[in-house]
Amino acid sequence: MDMTSSAQASVRIKGSMTSVACIQLTGIDEHQLYLLQDKLDDFIDNAPALIRGMPVILEMSNCYLDSRVFAGIVSLVRRVGANPFAVRGCPEYQDLYEAQGVSYLGDQLDTQRRATPVKSEPSVSQAPVIIETPIANEALIITTPVRSGQQIYARQRDLIIVSNVSNGAEVMSDGSIHVYGALRGRAMAGVTGNENARIFCSSMDAELLLIDGDYLIRDSIPEHVLHKPCQTFKHDQKMIIDLL
């Protein structure tokens, strides 16, 4: 094992306000995967029930990845029962994230680089679709249904969908999300740190609602709002769903 660069590498696990965890990976390459394994083992020894089944965001900084290394990171996290569903940082590896079925939430670790969108090309026709948003502050408007397996990301702006979002689809925005139709997939608003973002829909049936790291899954959504127009927002560090 090559230990020469381990002094600059680090792994840190932190919890968010609800049960979405962030694993911060700094300077990780093929020689530092043991750091992640050791940290996860320690975490499981001390709090075995806390991370199992928990959605995880991987925050990458100055990492050196190839397909084998990133697959190893995902495998180690899944080995302890957690669900790595998204990545922030290191935009140059978006193809690796996509190959492992992990969503890319933007380079929130570097605000200067985040101002310039990073283009992503799908590897095959069935791959998730990333829609870039080069003009800041102007809402991205989608007028066709968002189908299962598709992914739409409105970078640095709101997202407006004038149609339905199917089960298995994923819509994300740095701002708010407006769905003028049925929301059945996953909606993630304020993904780069906007706690004031909101999610609006004409018919609530979402698999996941996430705002700035806090989330509700389908089983946590109150029955009285299902299939009705509503808005989701954060208040006093809690997720709230109100009827419109």
Read off the pLDDT of residues 170-191 as tens digits, 9 standing for 90 and up: 898 989 999 999 999 999 898 8
Pinpoint the residues of the chain covered by CATH 3.30.750.24: 1-114
| The one-letter amino acid at 53 | G
Backbone torsion region of residue 212, taken as left when φ is above 0, otherwise alpha when ψ lies between -120 and 50, otherwise beta:
left
Read off the pLDDT of residues 7-51 as tens digits, 9 standing for 90 and up: 567 666 554 434 467 788 888 888 888 888 888 887 777 656 556
Per CATH, which fold does 128-244 belong to? Pectate Lyase C-like (2.160.20)
225 in Cβ contact with 204 (< 8 Å):
yes
Q: What are phi and psi of 204, to 5 degrees?
A: -90, 120
Lowest mean pLDDT, pick from 78-87, 92-101, 120-129, 178-187:
120-129
**1-114: CATH, from 3.30.750.24, 3.50.50.60, 3.40.50.150, 3.40.50.720:** 3.30.750.24
Measured between alpha carbons, how far is 213 from 72 in angstroms, rounded to an integer? 24
State which H helix or E strand residue 241 sits in: strand 238-243
Pinpoint the residues of the chain covered by CATH 2.160.20.70: 128-244
Place of tokens 């706690």: 195
pLDDT at 204 over 90: yes
Helices assigned H by DSSP within the chain: 33-46, 48-51, 67-79, 94-99, 111-114
pLDDT at 97 over 50: yes
Place of tokens 């590498």: 9
